[in-house]
Amino acid sequence: MKEPVSVVITSYNRVELLRECILQIQSQSRPCEVIVCDDGSTDGSVEMVRAEFPEVVLVSNETGSPRWVVVQRDLGFQKATHRLVLSIDEDLIVPDSETVDWLCSFFQDASVGIVAMPFVDVLRDERVQNASKTQGQANQRHCHIGAGAMIDIHKYREVGGYSLWIEGYREEADLGIKMLNSGYKVLVPPAQRVARHLRRQGGLSQLASFRSARNDVIFYWRYTPGPKWVAFVAATILRNVSDGIRE
């Protein structure tokens, strides 16, 4: 029997996509423990999971305040009972029933900490993201882009996991650099299997925009050497001012 995998699905107010996401994970050829982390949905998502998928581990935020995606993911990781954890949002549709097994295959190399899920933002363009540029081979990068990734939970815990203060935006880069600094690989595989990402439409809220800009500044301060930090911070400020003017 193949080694089971834990799948952490973060969700907020997209009940139909969440249902489809759970069903596609349950149809995988490799056994999957499904963990749904809902951030206070008001569209019946929690009730749907309880009624239709009683076997799913449900982590529901009932505080009345958003926890944000990084905290949600980490709560899901705490519930995971298997070594490999696929972390996805509810709006990621994997291409076929062999996708989880395919991602697991890259962990035959014991030094791998993260393997990204190639995807296309179907509501924006047809560009494949999180994919290797070398045909038939995985490439190493410092991080993956959000939407989906498989993570070795033991290595995740060893490096300290996500920095929870981030809340959202730059968490993948922060975790990726922690992995690299600990001697582990972050891989983007070839685009043999490409997921569909149905990203929410519309721009960021003012609070989300603030967090994104704040995280950029702190990230560059932590990881950019010497004088280059000043240039990165200046570019971040100019970019956010420009975005604010356009909005």
CA distances from 117 to 77, 143, 147, 148, 151 (A): 18, 12, 8, 5, 11
Residue 247's pLDDT is: 46
**For 87-131, how does the pLDDT look when each residue is reduced to its tens digit (9 = 90+)?**
999 999 999 999 999 999 999 999 999 999 999 998 888 889 899
CA angle centred on 45, ends 76 and 67, rounded to 5°? 45
What pLDDT score was predicted for residue 67?
Answer: 79
DSSP characters for 91-160? TEE-SSTTHHHHHHHGGGSTTEEEEE--EEETTT---EES--SSTTS-EE-S---TTEEEEEHHHHHHTT
The alpha carbons of the chain give a radius of gyration, in whole angstroms, of: 18
Kindly report the average pLDDT of the chain as a whole number.
86
Confidence of residue 245 (pLDDT cuts 50, 70, 90): very low
* Percentage of the residues of the chain whose pLDDT score is greater than 70: 79
Q: What is the spatial distance between Cα 205 and Cα 28, in angstroms, rounded to a whole number?
A: 35
Q: Whole-model pTM? A: 0.85
**What does DSSP say about strands 139-140 and 119-121: parallel, antiparallel, or unpaired?**
unpaired
In DSSP terms, 33 is beta-bridged to 6
pLDDT in the model for residue 105: 97
Give percent of the chain above pLDDT 90.
61
- 195 vs 166, residue with greater confidence: 195
Residue 47 reports pLDDT greater than 90:
yes
Chain mean position to CA 183: 21
